[in-house]
């Protein structure tokens, strides 16, 4: 029993241990930031490595907690993202007074995400979700001197609380309609009655808030802009990725009998999300806001994939999140570095960037190309598979809209590329020295962007673990 | 014979370029890469003939087939028939000429040659793909380098043109994607799987009503690449803003990607729909031919002249495909090769003129034959090929298209053919007018002052080599077209 417990929950246990180590260090010793960063990065690497050892299927605590190879893989993707974010923020944290606290909060949210993905029960799911969002508000406020940062935290906590309220209301209605909160039992009671549809809409809205689907996206840009870059990248990649994983599993297991109902909802939401995200991204001048809206559009594409509801769809979503981790974090890595050294965050600041920083320019360009879906970067494969899984339902209207929206997204990604390579600038960003950790993170991301796509094995592996109907 | 080498060669060249330092190293690496590609293309041609002579009747030769993504039954499947070989040769010719023409590129030379090499890789990959996914992959690989090439090294309204070109081509490939998805989900192999395999799909026969939905997507999508009216607007802007080598690539190879796609994907896989829609294609192609020709008459900038005449000439490609007779399609392929070589030569000549005189306005130039005899001669050859002088490749290709078109006896097709034939007169007008003004008469280079007249130099060795390579290609088709027709006929 104890052995089972340790094996099945190994990732959660490791994270908990790391949290305690950092907590004790904070209380007990007077250790330099430098050492804490080294230690934390080392531990995160260990955590990532441990995730690949042993791949068990099973459940604990009366189906409260389930795990299977796909869930382990999803957690590994999140661990990988965490490691990259941690490496990228090293330069910013070095001068910060509260490094251990940052890591403790960060890992608490990661722990919450792990529980959320592994949940086999709506209550467990809810607890995981809360654990993953409340510390985030504190993290958003981590630029302690800046008012914008506090504003971002406030906005985040308010919208997050609202979303949680919706979710909780939905959960209670689901309980009323089905008499159970366990996923496996619930599926048998879902009939598509009006109360259940109402409950589903509430649940969907809660999810939509978390992954900022239009029309629940309004908090995104402000929070992204105000929060420190490390937190923004964490929010846009890891946090959204985890909710997406949970969303897919809830949708495909619990609400499978209502597939026809939610297909139409997702159809409308995905079209809206892609379109609005794209149109707003065109007009952004702050690069963080720009990435916020582009990430909204990306979520729209993911929703197109989710409508496919086949094994292909699950695989494509997980695959895309993996690619998204690499490409978005590569972009944020450059933005974080520039912002940490020079404090400049406008798109126009990047004019003439290539003259002074060729390497960083190529990293940013490759990342943007991957986000836009240009081959041979992985983003091309990710988008291709998402749209293919959406097309599997035979709805070519949706696919056509999505494909044509790719053009708009090309426009705004290319706008940045144009600024970097083509525009002249009186005061370009000076030549930056890339710190060792950030360099490592960039190498990981670029290798990921190139290899994940071209090596068909990655997708095959994810597909072999996936499920659908 | 491994076709994959055709993709690996440019890739190695590109990576080697990244490790180079200084213009000298960069251009030597780029040129040697291109030479090896050209040699390999010839080796392929010879090997192809040998296999055919040995009685190999397979549809595609040198096939290689590896599974890429198992769940979707996506393969890396390549192979070549006569048409592919012809396009590969064209790509190799234009690549080497493009590199020679940009021999003294100063600004960011490493990046320039890197992107150029990447473009040629995309084109090779596209022409040998037998799997729709692989094909689409390479089609898009060949788009973004163009954006950077025009935007960074271009002239005039380069950012606008680069963006317009990239977005329109991406729009085209978005339409192609929808068609691919539609084709994919309407195929069912013996094993019960969907497939992207061109050869398999051609035998599976997609239901006619499905064809009718997705044929327009595929044809218009690829049509954007080949300046299908009314999606031709990127052509003049893109060509005129691009640096010389990029213009050569764009007109010589990229526009052929579209024609090849229209033929291989749209028409070959969905023959019934092609039949049903052929009248629309014919009409659009005829409009493009005539509109392109008349629009050219109004142009004063040499690059715009060639860009609009490219719209007109690519109309012949689409006309040939739309006629759906064997001869016409053969003519279309010949026109692709011929136009590729001819327009690359034309742009090369314009680029050489511009490098020396710093103007492309017809009105400001004159009498250049006296000071630059070689460049002026190249210019004349390109122009005469463009208006279809017998003995040069343009004549052979156009005549084949018309003969094929005449086999189609319906009234509409006849009218279209006659109109298209008549456009040649207009072509002659604009070409001869431009040439007469630029080449003959008193020496005039208004923009750069009168004293410059004496300092103008003729072509350097690299420019001579570039022009010679392309002219050899044009003459080879023009004087002895049978080798090309034999190649395509298979």
Q: What is the mean pLDDT of residues A330-356?
A: 87
Beta strand residue intervals within A235-358, DSSP E: none
Comparing C-alpha atoms, which of A328, B157, B73, A13 is closest to residue A3?
A13
- Beta pairing, strands B444-445 & B365-366: antiparallel
- Identify the weakest region by mean pLDDT among A122-131, A339-348, B40-49, B357-366: B357-366
Tens of pLDDT, residue by residue over B23-80, are 888 888 888 988 999 999 989 888 888 888 887 777 788 888 888 888 888 889 888 8
**How far is B357 from A299, CA to CA, in rounded Å?**
52
The mean predicted confidence, pLDDT, of chain A is 87
Cβ contact A385–B72 (<8 Å): yes
B167 contacts A456? CB cut-off 8 A: no
**Cβ–Cβ contact B140 with A under 8 A:** yes
Task: Please report the pLDDT score of residue A329 as a whole number.
Answer: 92
Number of CB atoms found within 10 A of residue A348's CB: 11
Alpha-carbon gap: A381 to the closest alpha carbon of chain B (Å) = 9
Dihedrals φ, ψ of A107, to 5°? -75, -30
In angstroms, what separates the C-alpha of B488 from chain A's closest C-alpha? 30
* Res A368: pLDDT: 92
Among B69, B167, B178, the residue with its CB nearest the CB of A456 is B69
Percent of chain B at pLDDT above 90? 7
- The pLDDT of A331-344, averaged and rounded, is 87
Test mutation, B10, B65, B69, chain A, max A CBs within 10 A = B69
Q: Which residue has the tokens 């094929």?
A: B404
Is the Cβ pair B141, A404 closer than 8 Å? no
Close Cβ partners of A155 (under 8 Å, ≥ 6 residues apart): A219, A222, A223, A226
Average pLDDT over residues A9-32: 85
Is A179 buried (19+), middle (13-18) or exposed (0-12) by CB count in 10 A? exposed
Count Cβ neighbours within 10 Å for each residue of B318-354 and write b for 16 or more, e otherwise: bbbbbbbbebbbbbbbbbbbbbbbbbbbbbbbbbbbb
Give the residue-averaged pLDDT of A204-229: 87
Q: What distance in Å separates the CA atoms of residue B65 and residue B78, rounded to the nearest whole number?
A: 7
Contact call for A422 and B159, based on CB within 8 A: yes
For the segment A84-104, the average pLDDT, to the nearest whole number, is 86
Q: What percent of chain A shows pLDDT beyond 70?
A: 100
pLDDT recorded at residue A376: 86
Q: Please state the separation of Cα B90 from the chain's center in Å.
A: 8
CB A420 within 8 A of CB A353: yes
Is the CB of B74 inside 8 Å of chain A's CB atoms?
Answer: yes
- Please choose, from the candidates A157, A153, A158, A134, the residue with its C-alpha nearest in 3D space to the C-alpha of residue A143: A153
What counts of helices (H) and strands (E) characterise chain B? 22, 4
CA–CA gap between residue B248 and residue B293 (Å, rounded)? 20
Does residue B451 lie in a domain region? yes
B174 contacts chain A (CB < 8 A): yes
Q: Alpha helix locations (H) across B20-81?
A: 22-53
Residue A48 has pLDDT above 60, yes or no: yes
Task: Quote the CA–CA distance of B135 and B201 in Å, as a whole number.
Answer: 14
DSSP letters along B295-329, please?
HHHT--BHHHHHHHHHHHHHHHHHHHHHH--HHHH
Q: Outline where A283-310 has alpha helix (H).
A: 287-307
Domain ranges of chain A: 2-465
Q: Are A422 and B151 a contacting pair at CB < 8 A?
A: yes
**Which residues on chain B are in Cβ contact (under 8 Å) with A406?**
170, 174
Q: Which of A365, A372, A378, A396 to mutate to test the interface with B (most CBs of B within 10 A)?
A: A396
Min distance B232 CA to chain A CA atoms (Å): 17
CB-based contacts of B434, cutoff 8 Å, min separation 6: B302, B305, B362, B383
| Separation between Cα atoms, residue B483 and residue B46, nearest integer Å | 12
For residues A12 and A75, give the distance between their C-alpha atoms in angstroms, rounded to a whole number.
Answer: 10
Residue B193 lies in a domain: no
Asked whether residue B198 is domain-assigned, the answer is no
Instruction: Give CA B470 to chain center in angstroms.
Output: 13
The whole-number pLDDT of residue B452 equals 54
Residue B167 with chain A: CB contacts under 8 Å: 407, 410-411, 414
A312 and B72 within 8 Å at the Cβ level: the answer is yes
Res B446: pLDDT = 61
Which residue among A376, A396, A421 sits closest to B141, beta carbon to beta carbon?
A376
The Cα B425–Cα B408 span in angstroms is 23
The contacts of residue B19 (CB under 8 Å, 6+ apart) are none
The parts of chain B modelled with pLDDT lower than 50 are 449, 451
What is the radius of gyration, based on Cα positions, of chain A?
21
Beta-carbon separation of A380 and B137 below 8 A: yes
Length in residues, chain B: 490
A383 with A377: CB under 8 angstroms? no
In sequence order, what are the residues at sequence separation of 6 or more whose Cβ sits closer than 8 angstroms to the Cβ of residue B165?
Answer: B146, B147, B150, B234, B237, B238
Phi, psi of A119 (to 5 degrees): -65, 140
Nearest to A414 among B133, B137, B147 (CB): B147
Q: Which of A387, A381, A403 is nearest to A452 (CA)?
A: A381
Q: Give the CA distances from residue B12 to residues A450, B273, B279, B347, B477, in Å, rounded to whole numbers and listed in that order.
A: 16, 41, 45, 28, 31
Q: How confident is the model at residue A324 (pLDDT cuts 50, 70, 90)?
A: very high
User: Is the confidence at residue A45, as pLDDT, over 90?
Assistant: no
The answer, for B43 touching chain A at a CB cutoff of 8 Å, is: no
d(Cα A141, Cα A154) in Å, to the nearest integer? Answer: 8
Distance CA B463, CA A139 (A): 61
- Establish how many alpha carbons lie within 13 A of residue A265's alpha carbon, considering only the half-sphere containing its beta carbon: 17
A369 contacts B159? CB cut-off 8 A: no
Residues in contact with A269: Cβ distance below 8 Å, sequence separation at least 6, in sequence order: A208, A213, A214, A300, A303
In a domain, B180, yes or no: no
- In this prediction, the answer to ipTM > 0.95 reads no
Q: Are A258 and A190 in contact (CB under 8 A)?
A: yes
Provide the phi-psi class of B324: left if phi over 0, else alpha when psi is between -120 and 50, else beta. left
Q: Which pLDDT band, with edges at 50, 70 and 90, does A114 fall under?
A: very high
d(CA A449, CA A327): 6
Q: Is residue B51 part of a domain?
A: no
- % of chain A with per-residue pLDDT over 90: 24
Gap between the Cα atoms of A131 and A124, Å rounded: 11
B102: left (phi over 0), alpha (psi -120 to 50) or beta: alpha
Residues of chain B in contact with residue A394, where contact means CB-CB under 8 angstroms, are 185
Domain annotation covers residue B331: yes
Q: Pick the residue of B17, B129, B170 with the most A CBs within 10 A to test the interface with A by mutation.
A: B170
Q: Is the pLDDT of residue A333 over 80?
A: yes
The size of the A-B interface in CB pairs under 8 A is 88
Q: What is the pLDDT of residue B490?
A: 59
Q: What is the pLDDT of residue A147?
A: 85
Domain range for B369 is: 270-490
Sign of CA dihedral B106, B107, B109, B110: positive
Cβ contact B144–A312 (<8 Å): no
HEC per residue, A430-458: CCCCCCHHHHHHHHHHHHHHHHHHHCHHH
- Write down the pLDDT at residue B447: 52
Tell me the C-alpha to C-alpha distance, in Å, between residue B163 and each of A270, B241, B369, B443: 27, 11, 37, 38
Give how many domains chain B has, as a whole number: 1
- Across the range A442-455, mean pLDDT stands at 91
CA distance A465 to chain B (A): 12
Ordered alpha helix ranges (H), B226-301 = 234-241, 244-249, 255-261, 268-269, 271-297
Search chain B and give the residue with CA nearest A378: B137
A112: its two tokens: 């919450």
CA angle A286, A287, A292 (to 5 degrees): 100
Q: Which of B214, B224, B124, B206 is nearest to B167 (CA)?
A: B224
Q: Give the burial class of B245: count Cβ atoms within 10 A of its Cβ; 0-12 exposed, 13-18 middle, 19 or more buried.
A: buried
Contacts of B74 in chain A (CB under 8 A): 456
3-state secondary structure of A351: coil
Q: How far is the CA of A298 from the CAs of A38, A278, A302, A321, A463, in angstroms? A: 33, 9, 6, 10, 21
């Amino acid at each position: 029993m104890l052995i089972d417990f340790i094996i099945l929950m190994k990732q959660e246990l490791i994270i908990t241990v790391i949290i305690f180590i950092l907590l004790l260090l904070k209380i007990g010793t007077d250790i330099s930031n430098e050492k804490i960063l080294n230690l934390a990065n080392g531990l995160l690497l260990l955590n990532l490595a441990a995730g690949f050892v042993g791949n068990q299927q099973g459940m604990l605590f009366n189906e409260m907690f389930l795990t299977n190879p796909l869930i382990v893989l999803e957690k590994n993707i999140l661990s990988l993202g965490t490691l990259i974010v941690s490496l990228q923020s090293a330069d910013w944290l070095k001068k910060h007074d509260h490094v251990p606290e940052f890591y403790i909060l960060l890992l608490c949210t990661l722990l919450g995400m792990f529980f959320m993905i592994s949940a086999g029960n709506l209550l467990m799911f809810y607890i995981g979700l809360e654990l993953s969002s409340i510390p985030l508000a504190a993290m958003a406020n981590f630029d302690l001197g800046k008012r914008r940062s506090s504003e971002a935290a406030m906005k985040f906590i308010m919208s997050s609380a609202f979303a949680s309220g919706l979710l909780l209301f939905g959960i209670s209605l689901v309980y009323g309609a089905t008499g159970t909160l366990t996923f496996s039992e619930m599926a048998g009671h879902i009939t598509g009655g009006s109360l259940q549809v109402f409950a589903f809409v509430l649940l969907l809205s809660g999810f939509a808030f978390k992954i900022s689907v239009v029309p629940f996206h309004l908090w995104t840009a402000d929070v992204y802009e105000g929060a420190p870059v490390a937190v923004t990248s964490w929010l846009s990649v890891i946090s959204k990725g985890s909710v997406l994983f949970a969303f897919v599993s809830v949708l495909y297991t619990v609400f499978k009998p209502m597939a026809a109902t939610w297909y139409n909802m997702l159809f409308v939401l995905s079209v809206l999300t892609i379109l609005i995200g794209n149109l707003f991204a065109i007009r952004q001048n702050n690069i963080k806001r720009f990435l916020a809206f582009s990430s909204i559009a990306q979520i729209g594409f993911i929703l197109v994939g989710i409508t496919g509801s086949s094994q292909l769809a699950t695989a494509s979503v997980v695959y895309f999140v993996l690619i998204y981790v690499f490409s978005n974090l590569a972009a944020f890595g450059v933005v974080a570095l520039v912002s940490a050294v020079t404090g400049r965050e406008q798109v126009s600041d990047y004019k003439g960037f290539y003259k002074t920083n060729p390497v960083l320019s190529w990293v940013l360009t490759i990342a943007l190309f991957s986000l836009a879906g240009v081959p041979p970067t992985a983003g091309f494969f990710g988008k291709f598979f998402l749209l293919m899984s959406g097309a599997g339902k035979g709805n070519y209207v949706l696919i056509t809209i999505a494909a044509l929206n790719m053009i708009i997204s090309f426009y705004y990604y290319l706008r940045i590329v144009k600024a970097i390579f083509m525009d002249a600038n009186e005061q370009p960003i000076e030549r930056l020295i890339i710190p060792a950790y950030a360099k490592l993170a960039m190498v990981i991301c670029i290798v990921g962007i190139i290899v994940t796509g071209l090596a068909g094995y990655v997708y095959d592996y994810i597909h072999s673990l996936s499920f659908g109907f | 014979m491994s076709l994959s080498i055709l993709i690996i060669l440019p890739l190695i060249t590109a990576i080697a370029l990244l490790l180079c330092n200084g213009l000298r190293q960069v251009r030597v690496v780029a040129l040697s890469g291109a030479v090896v590609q050209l040699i390999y293309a010839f080796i392929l041609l010879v090997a192809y003939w040998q296999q055919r002579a040995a009685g190999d009747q397979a549809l595609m030769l040198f096939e290689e087939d590896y599974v890429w993504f198992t769940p979707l039954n996506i393969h890396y499947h390549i192979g070549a028939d006569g048409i592919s070989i012809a396009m590969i040769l064209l790509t190799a010719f234009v690549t080497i000429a493009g590199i020679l023409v940009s021999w003294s590129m100063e600004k960011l030379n490493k990046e320039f040659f890197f992107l150029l090499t990447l473009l040629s890789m995309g084109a090779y990959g596209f022409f040998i793909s037998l799997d729709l996914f692989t094909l689409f992959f390479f089609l898009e690989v060949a788009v973004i380098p163009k954006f950077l090439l025009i935007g960074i090294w271009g002239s005039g309204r380069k950012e606008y043109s680069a963006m317009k070109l990239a977005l329109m081509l991406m729009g085209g490939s978005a339409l192609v994607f929808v068609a691919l998805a539609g084709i994919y989900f309407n195929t069912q192999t013996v094993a019960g799987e969907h497939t992207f395999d061109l050869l398999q799909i051609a035998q599976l026969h997609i239901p006619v009503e499905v064809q009718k939905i997705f044929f327009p997507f595929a044809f218009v999508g690829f049509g954007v690449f080949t300046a299908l009216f009314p999606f031709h607007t990127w052509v003049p802007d893109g060509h005129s803003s691009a640096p010389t080598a990029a213009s050569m690539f764009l007109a010589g190879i990229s526009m052929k990607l579209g024609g090849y796609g229209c033929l291989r994907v749209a028409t070959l896989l969905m023959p019934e729909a092609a039949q049903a829609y052929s009248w629309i294609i014919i009409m659009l192609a005829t409009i493009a031919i005539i509109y392109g020709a008349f629009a050219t008459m109004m142009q004063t900038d040499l690059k715009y002249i060639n860009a609009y005449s490219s719209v007109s000439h690519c109309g012949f490609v689409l006309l040939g495909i739309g006629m759906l007779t064997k001869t016409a399609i053969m003519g279309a392929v010949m026109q692709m090769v011929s136009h590729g070589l001819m327009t690359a030569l034309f742009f090369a000549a314009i680029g050489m003129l511009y490098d020396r005189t710093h103007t492309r306005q017809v009105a400001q130039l004159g009498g250049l034959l006296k000071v630059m005899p070689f460049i002026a001669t190249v210019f004349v050859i390109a122009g005469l090929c463009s208006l279809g002088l017998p003995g040069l490749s343009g004549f052979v290709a156009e005549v084949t298209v018309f003969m094929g078109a005449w086999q189609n006896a319906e009234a509409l097709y006849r009218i279209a053919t006659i109109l298209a034939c008549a456009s040649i007169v207009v072509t002659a007008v604009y070409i001869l007018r431009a040439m007469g003004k630029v080449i003959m008469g008193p020496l005039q280079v208004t923009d750069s002052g009168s004293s410059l007249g004496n300092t103008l130099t003729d072509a350097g060795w690299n420019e001579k080599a570039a022009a010679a390579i392309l002219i050899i290609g044009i003459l080879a088709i023009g004087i002895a077209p049978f080798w090309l027709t034999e190649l395509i006929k298979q």
